[in-house]
Structure 1
């Protein structure tokens, strides 16, 4: 990815927190990022070895990405591929589109590259790849006003070849703009170095190139910093955008922003860019920030899928629900303030898999569940509510 040796950092930023309000639903979904998923994605990414553009390993990584999205419930109709050539090699960008319900033809793009050189590139850029996957998994069924494109670029390491092809042949065609893009959020090399105090993430704004988009980029980067502080434990540091996949978008006048590690690992483009040398907890925290920010930018529903007892459609209709005890062992009780004849209880693990399902049953046998966090969704003709329950035997 970025070829220069040092990153000039401009100013610590915790500014203007009042510009954005904390939204409980956004935090609930940010909290659905799991360390287990991040780690699994990173290790699987590493397993493909050096994923140089045009190689079999690069193609294998692309197929792996497609299978991930299918496992999350996306279909072939949500996916498209942008094929490009570099020298005698051919490679593909992968684009997954989640359609917005108010502005279906205006897009928020979250992107990062999956190609690597020299080493397995687990930080550069398995870290960004794993975060984009988690964001897509969590937001799959969450209504958003704006459409979201989750894009995995190849050819970044050869000079932004894949993203340049996408911008000039998909976003623009025959010199005319085709895609109305609200903003581009790029995530590149956010793995950190194990052992460092990785408590800060760099947020990147546009300071050069096409000057007409600088003000807009500065504004959305400020929003990115605010979201990071609201929905993750990370501090933020303001810097400038350069030499990654948002730059072809910037050249066309689109608004860009991005994440990049604050304390440099210096392992990029070496055999040392491995899972053992990065900080998976840092990536987990950047993932929470990304999910929070993506919801803000795409204007996600504020009706939480992990609703509390003081914010549910059921309570508003006079049917407040208690789900207890919490933590629980082998039995969970669902209790309605007003009697409900027909209802369904669906229990999901934090990966979104349904593990138990009952109809019209107030005493839920949880003895078969392993220790962990689960969501209990109660569905009636008045609406749905979801509670997060800890099983601890």
Structure 2
């Protein structure tokens, strides 16, 4: 994300769910499919690609990595569009992957984020948004949606929104009539801070010129916030939309909104430095933002409201209520788990994914006296269901 220069923001004490937007179980079931293992793997692989400055070999490597990921998810070259662009002395590509809608195939919900970085690997800014977009694409691949979805990964964001600006001018406006866009939802810097609780999420509200699209955008950001409350454990707040890849769309008259981390936010000390790494962010927060995003994209794209396969979501729902305490902890870590969950295991890994400790089955008290102070991930498993929580060891 380009550094934001406006430091005033709107604080909303509470958000009321609109009558038109109600809880849909199938949307929740799909939101619960966001995988902590996948998120961690994406973040680790993204980080390993190095500094992804626009125009460098590492930037091209990241582009090709994205193509490989989509191919592994079952998307084909027919779904891909590689948008090559040159601007301000830089040359790069945006990757666009399209999932066709069933009723309105020529009207698009765009979910986007940039994959370039500057001065560091950009694991938070913006490996976090990149990872969530991949998870949305995986989960919704075979889910019918009334509207088409475009999953877009922009380059050149850090040099001044170059990739998204060229996409709007050359592709969105390059057809007659221009591309019909329902809404643009951007994911940028949603990784949080490792040392914080990360329980709240900013939703970006359009307050910019032209103002003709602001009223519709106000409805969209409210619906985005509603989805966060409906389908994730996060609280909501609002900040002004600015300085990221939805701006060229906004200036083109489109309806835009997006997500941005609450903790860290304007004052994240790691963003745009060599220390923008996984060890300094919160992958469980990325998972929770992902749940909101899966819910919101289903809402905007009008996804099927029926679950195609019979699933027992009761275990997953119960696992969400699991807690480690105290947290931060020292010497002993306790596990609060619902009484109806009898057979489970606990695994603790470090932020690099290395297994540190596997407890005995059905143990509610875990000896962590040998763990060094730091941030870890605790995964509780019952059968094929898992939930991961962040653990801080003092």
Fold agreement, TM-score > 0.5? yes
> 1-side partners of 2:210 and 2:342: how far apart?
54
1:254 maps to 254
Matched, 1:172 2:173: yes
> 1-side partners of 2:31 and 2:342: how far apart?
21
2:114 maps to 113
Unaligned 5+ segments in structure 2 are: 313-340, 345-380, 388-394
* Partner-residue secondary structure (3-state), 1:245: coil
How far is 1:20 from its partner? 1.0
* Partner-residue secondary structure (3-state), 1:28: helix
> 2-side partners of 1:87 and 1:242: how far apart?
21
The verdict on how the C-alpha distance between 1:373 and 1:224 changes in structure 2, with shifts beyond 3 A counting, is: farther
How far is 1:126 from its partner? 0.3
User: Which digits, 9 at most, give the CA deviation of each residue in 1:128-184, with x for residues without a partner?
Assistant: 00000000000000000000000000000000000000000000027x552100000
* Partner-residue secondary structure (3-state), 2:55: coil
2:294 maps to 291
C-alpha contact 1:83 1:93 (8 A) present in aligned 2: yes
Q: Which runs of 4+ in 1 moved over 4 A?
A: 326-329, 371-374
User: Which digits, 9 at most, give the CA deviation of each residue in 1:203-228, with x for residues without a partner?
Assistant: 01111111110000000100000000
* Partner-residue secondary structure (3-state), 2:171: helix
C-alpha contact 1:9 1:237 (8 A) present in aligned 2: no
Matched, 1:240 2:243: no
1:270 maps to 273
C-alpha contact 1:28 1:306 (8 A) present in aligned 2: no
2:331 maps to none
> 1-side partners of 2:236 and 2:309: how far apart?
27
Unaligned 5+ segments in structure 1 are: 310-325, 330-370, 375-387
The verdict on how the C-alpha distance between 1:140 and 1:33 changes in structure 2, with shifts beyond 3 A counting, is: same
* Partner-residue secondary structure (3-state), 1:110: strand
The verdict on how the C-alpha distance between 1:5 and 1:213 changes in structure 2, with shifts beyond 3 A counting, is: closer
Q: Which is greater in Rg?
A: 1
> 2-side partners of 1:233 and 1:153: how far apart?
29
The verdict on how the C-alpha distance between 1:372 and 1:54 changes in structure 2, with shifts beyond 3 A counting, is: farther
How many aligned positions are there? 320
Alignment of 1:117-196 (within 5 A): 117-173=118-174, 177-196=177-196
How far is 1:6 from its partner? 6.1
Matched, 1:74 2:75: yes
TM-score where L is the length of structure 2: 0.77
The verdict on how the C-alpha distance between 1:146 and 1:53 changes in structure 2, with shifts beyond 3 A counting, is: same
How far is 1:75 from its partner? 0.3
* Partner-residue secondary structure (3-state), 1:38: helix
